[in-house]
Structure 1
Amino acid sequence: MKFIQYTTKEHPEDIRLGYLEDECVIDIGLREQGMPHTMLQFLQNDYYLERLKELKWKRPCCMKNLKDVLLKAPITGMDKVICVCLNYKDHCELHKIPIPPVPVIFSKFASVVIGPSDPLLIRTDITCKVDWEVELCIVMGKKASCVKQCRAYEYIFGFTVANDVTARDWQRERNGGQFLLGKSMDTFCPVGPWIVTLDELGSVDNLEIKCSLNGVNKQRSNTNQLIYKVPAIIERLTQLITLLPGDIILTGSPSGLGVYSNPPEFMKPGDILRSEIEKIGVLETRVERYIKPDDFPWQNYKIDKNCLY
């Protein structure tokens, strides 16, 4: 199944939960009284998924066309957004980076997650080195602690596409070498367009993964290049922390990053970022300038001269 969160033009503040049947959106909250309206609520109780499987056999009466809804991030409000660094063999080999002896972990704030209909906002007055990183994203379905690799998939609900957007100047130059601020600026985690469940997706060990900017291909690889596969990541994390339903894990990015281009290349307002993973889908994100509350009137706007594009 493919699960989405969406809004409509008529009710843009009303987040709805649905699943797809071809191009039709089936609203889960309207299928039966008491069903949840968000993905996080749905994942927090196993009953809802089992009940939904029963309801799927009945003809739905609450359908919309996919083109008539606004897709939001398929999961929001999660407790954790966890990321893996330097996890593609081809990336490490290309840039002569030693393969990490264990998965290297960092995090983003959960509040920076956005979806397909949301813009990626760049604060052009403080950063001019915003980079792309397409990644396979795990969505946890159950509470997980001390999980062995052989049982890891029992705790995973599905997978989606994510982009670990990064301000390289803040990651490398302006925060003492600590990742958090460069990774966690507002909107720096596009996710979507939907969550594909394991029963539909099957193996994730041989999927093409790619990213383009304004129609020009920047990244192209395959998940068979992952150094630490999904089960190994789950085992490593759950030996240390408890993962909760709805937590997402970005599994690492392949080569083709802007920071390694010659000359380096970074995103700017007006760009269109396209992230894609085979069998999962395409996540398209428009890039805009972050407008501060005091940016008006326009003639008073000031910009860091070091960040001019």
Structure 2
Amino acid sequence: MSRRITYSQLGGPEVLTISEISEPHAGEGEVRVRVKFAAINPFDAKVFSGEATSSPQNVSFPSGNGNDFAGVVDEIGDGVSTWAIGDEVLGGKGFSAQADYVVVVANALVRKPDALSWQQAGALDIVGRTAWASVESVSLTAADTVLVSAAAGGVGVIAAQLAKLKGAKVIGSASESNHEFLRSLGIHPVTYGQGMVERILEISPEGVTAALDNNGRETVDAALALGAPADRINTIADYAALDEYGTTGVGAAGATADDLATLAVLVAAGTVQVPIDSVFPFEQVSQAYTKLLEGHSRGKIVLEL
């Protein structure tokens, strides 16, 4: 038997429970990973609470939970020659990652660089691919000034650093407690909320040329007011803006496993920082999501199995 986080009704973090299930096994073209760390994401909570557009009609009970994981290959299916028992890997599989074992298609995995911590590896899939794809979607250069919202959060902190690697001037919205951290990354911090446009103009009198929205309509409206063209505003938090303003909405699906592998190398080298806000034991999954929903986390929250 093995353990898996499941839920059988919609609600808050209290609906999550540890279930005993039969061990899954790798089929043809698949590998099984013994999970060491699994991350939690805001989207998970939107699904198990019923807030996501895909919920509840596309959720069958009992449902698994979580996408991001890192661990060790411990079983290989027929036809797989790219992995060996004992390989250290990271990846993602929807509604499945928070479990002792995850079975995935072989080409969906990424090799974990030796210098990449297990916690970071387990947290990287969704936020890493989303940040990578969102930055690429607006074609940044050294001529750009880009606004990144929620710049100390899971997606935002990676996107802001990737934007800086493109040569762009990066302005990141965050709570005051995260400003010094953002400065240490070479990002110009700004407090969100009323008056944000004026505060950004103090940093960049010419406004901004692009924006990466990880927070919602406030960022989109601010970016438009500051001169960013709608088609250079990518949002993962306000999809209504796509129809209303013509913004883009490129997310994790816009990045490949190769992109994730490249990012993993950058993180392992220290070129991109992926802060781990906190680590919870697997048994404290509900407490982990409670902390996530309180907001203002710096980076990622992960579960240790």
Q: What TM-score does the superposition give when structure 2 sets the normalisation length?
A: 0.26
Kindly indicate which of the two structures has a greater share of residues assigned to helix. 2
Q: Which has the higher strand share?
A: 1
